[in-house]
Structure 1
Amino acid sequence: MHDAPPAHHLVERLRGTLLPAVLTPMDPHGAVDHGALAGYARRIAAAPIGGVAVWAHTGRGLYLSDADRARVLRAWREATPLPIVAGAGTPRSLTGPSLAEAADATVAMAVRAAELGADAVMVYPVTAFGGLDDGPARTVRLHERVAAETGLPLVGFYLHGEAGGFPYPPDLVRELLALPSMLGIKTATLDRAIGCQDALWAGRGTGRLGITGEDRMFGPSLMWGADTALVGIAAARPELSARVLRAWTGGDHAAFVRASERLDRFAAATFYAPIEGYVQRMHWAAVHDGLLPEGAAHDPYGPPPPAPERDRVIACLEELDAEAPG
């Protein structure tokens, strides 16, 4: 057991930066393409980013085997000295777990991330906690366990229900951010503007990061108080997201509006119902931009995508390419 170190140094290192929630290159059967992964990691690491997030929802971290998760994290550790945030939750291979089993599995995944060289852990919500009167208290205790057993700083994860999460009320956000191990809270509320606002506002004055994971509300979430980004939409063409963040933090509001409009168009072409299809759409974008080869750009865990969806993604990217970024 370890006492969690102060998170302040990493807070200041990450504040104002972009961390892509990166893809995991796979074939149609879910086998990870480790050659493609190494190339993808090098290309993303060369982008204007402050770190990366592995094992997140975009990378299908909870679906991967233990061995594949280890290979993924090692590949990113070899590709970049930047901070790596690893998601930790209940693996999908664990069917019908009890509350204790789900919490234990989350802690075990976090411990493994620490062993593999992660710099911080993003704690997935335990879905079943959302329906319990003491769910917020259980959530706080889970974060305390992860911090104690890994010795790493933590990111809280307010995840929308379609992806297996539940709303984190403002009181829970404040309790989490009061823990010495916490870097901040990532909001990924999808389209819940009120929930996103309330969570970001609850973090004001704490000195911790307000982390946006709002692919369809990226610009607004910065206006509501987010100061850092950890987003799946940056898994391909990260410069689109980075440009918005730079303009906002630099106080260039005209550039912010222009950059937000471009990013919003890309988001509209990739993040829409069925929302789980976004992972495949981001794979297609990565292929178009030369980040991934065609054979490694598959998401076997999402809905089967109709061909016109790919056309929509490519048309959007080509339209953006034809314009001056401004």
Structure 2
Amino acid sequence: MSAAEDLVRRLRGTVLPAVATPMDAAGVVDFGALRGYAERIAGEPIGGVAVWAHTGRGLYLSEDDRRRVLAVWREAVGGPVVAGVGVPRAAGAVNLGEAVDATVGMAVRAAEGGADAVMVYPLAQLDGDDDAAVELHERVAAASGLPVVGFFLHGEAGGYPYPPWLVSRLLALPVAVGIKLATLDRAMDCQDAIRAARSSGRLVITGEDRMFGPSLMWGADSALVGIAAAQVPLTVAVLEAWRAGDHGRFVRASARLDRFAEATFLAPIEGYVQRMLWAAVWEGLIPEEAAHDPYGPGLPAVERRTVVDCLESLAKEAQEAEEANDTEDSEEAGTEDDGPARS
């Protein structure tokens, strides 16, 4: 079994949080906060984690910070670690050859740091050149020795949509693990890509935070999402309910996750990183002083209140549901104990 096939087996049906990177307002990574955050996330029922992804501002970090961030997660997480690779923002405007070289170089460093696979950012410099896109993934895999995940990323985050025929070509590569879909709100693009990917036998990985439940219904079988940078149990609950065929539980869990997505993944969409950091603070995953995203837009305080109100409402509902279940179980046990004996 190849490394790519083994990862497909290990990751199918699991959630990989696209984890955040705790830092101060100046962009200095708080590695103490990161270690605590990593330990908490690693304790959840996850398949692995994705580092250097959009949520973790991987392309904005210095090379040394990326190395240290990967080392923290590699130590904390027993499952696979997938590293996002692309063109560092510090490189500025580069041509296609330079962009490919930068991506390949980052993949090599990911392998040196112990990553199990790399997720290749779609390069704007490819400009619709399907052959160059396939060659990029082949070069990344050959240089790093790692399996690759294709990344269908919406334009608002710096990517461009892969057409269905390119999705099929990428997943036909022996080194391919799967395709990660992040189309934001483009249902038809998401459905077309899933349809193209389903026959490959590789992973169809949803990154659709605002279409999470529907993307599973359309055929995604795993998840790599920024919304799980904080709300891991709820994200896992949706995926597990769908795969178990428990449609009632799936609808309830999906509705709760949708409410959280409505409070965090909205315009300006780049603000979602800060909103997820606020959620992580509320959940006790990271300290307040490490909950800054200096690379996103400034957001008004009312948006934080919206995120917190949503989390408090969801927590209250979960507590009430648990108390109701406890009461029902107690009443059933009492009926069994106190009922008359029958022959």
Matches within 5 A, 1:96-107: 96-107=93-104
- In structure 2, the partner of 1:269 is 263
- In structure 2, the partner of 1:10 is 7
- In structure 2, the partner of 1:127 is 124
RMSD: 1.1
Matches within 5 A, 1:67-146: 67-129=64-126, 131-132=127-128, 135-146=129-140
CA contact (8 A) 2:124 2:159 kept: yes
Q: Deviations over 1:95-133 (max 9, x none)?
A: 11111000100000000000000000000011121x34x
- In structure 1, the partner of 2:291 is 297
CA contact (8 A) 1:5 1:151 kept: no
What is the CA distance between 1:237 and its match in structure 2? 1.8
- In structure 1, the partner of 2:60 is 63
Question: What amino acid is aligned across from residue 146 of structure 1 in structure 2?
Answer: V
What is the CA distance between 1:5 and its match in structure 2? 4.5
Q: Work out whether 1:258 is the aligned partner of 2:255.
A: no
What is the CA distance between 1:324 and its match in structure 2? 2.5
Query: Which runs of no fewer than 5 residues in structure 1 stay unpaired?
Result: none
CA contact (8 A) 1:5 1:153 kept: no
| CA distance in structure 2 between the aligned counterparts of 1:100 and 1:269, rounded to whole angstroms | 40
Matches within 5 A, 1:134-283: 135-283=129-277
Question: What amino acid is aligned across from residue 143 of structure 1 in structure 2?
Answer: H
| CA distance in structure 2 between the aligned counterparts of 1:209 and 1:290, rounded to whole angstroms | 32
| CA distance in structure 2 between the aligned counterparts of 1:219 and 1:128, rounded to whole angstroms | 32
What is the CA distance between 1:11 and its match in structure 2? 0.2
- Tell me: CA distance 1:5–1:150, structure 2 relative to 1, closer, same or farther (3 Å): farther
Q: Deviations over 1:146-169 (max 9, x none)?
A: 011111111000000000000110
Q: Deviations over 1:11-35 (max 9, x none)?
A: 0100000000000000000000000
Aligned partner of residue 322 in structure 1, secondary structure: helix
TM-score, scaled to structure 2: 0.92
TM-score, scaled to structure 1: 0.97
CA contact (8 A) 1:185 1:210 kept: yes
Q: Deviations over 1:206-246 (max 9, x none)?
A: 11000000000000000111000000000002111000000
| CA distance in structure 2 between the aligned counterparts of 1:209 and 1:98, rounded to whole angstroms | 31
CA contact (8 A) 2:99 2:125 kept: no
Structure of greater Rg: 2
Q: Work out whether 1:316 is the aligned partner of 2:313.
A: no
Q: Deviations over 1:56-89 (max 9, x none)?
A: 0000000000000001000001111110000000
> Stretches of 4+ moved more than 3 A in 1?
none
